[in-house]
Amino acid sequence: MNNCPWKKITDFQSLSEFNRFVDWIGEEIRSGAAEDVAVAKPYLDGNTFKEKWFRHIESGKIWRLVWPDAPFHGVFEPVE
């Protein structure tokens, strides 16, 4: 497997940055570089935040995207 070029985002700086990221990850899916996968274990216990998981096809690495919900600024990170 190859390394995944995606980078962790621990804090989206603005809603517009988050929306640009959502557009980018959508393009990754449309181009075949990524795919949606089911959320197996939420970011926090329960359904506190909207969350989606993605697989980077080339590396097989699974990542989570958690939507901002003030005061939380959202996160994009590998699933451990």
Q: What pLDDT is attached to residue 2?
A: 78
Residue 72 within a domain: yes
6 within some domain: no
Residue 71: asked if its preceding bond is cis (omega within 30°), the reply is yes
Whether 54 and 29 have beta carbons less than 8 Å apart is answered as yes
Please tell me the predicted confidence (pLDDT) of residue 48: 78
pLDDT mean for each 10 residues of the chain (80 residues): 89 96 98 96 80 96 95 93
Residue 5 lies in a domain: no
**pLDDT score recorded for residue 47:** 67
- Residue 1 in any domain: the answer is no
60 domain residue, yes or no: yes
Q: Residue 13's pLDDT is what?
A: 95
State which residues form the domain around 48.
15-78
In this structure, is residue 43 part of a structural domain?
yes
The pLDDT score that the predictor gives to residue 1 is: 58
Answer whether residue 25 is part of any domain.
Answer: yes
d(CA 75, CA 12): 7
Q: Which of 64, 66, 44, 42 is nearest to 55 (CA)?
A: 64
> Tokens representing 59?
């590396």
SS3 55: strand
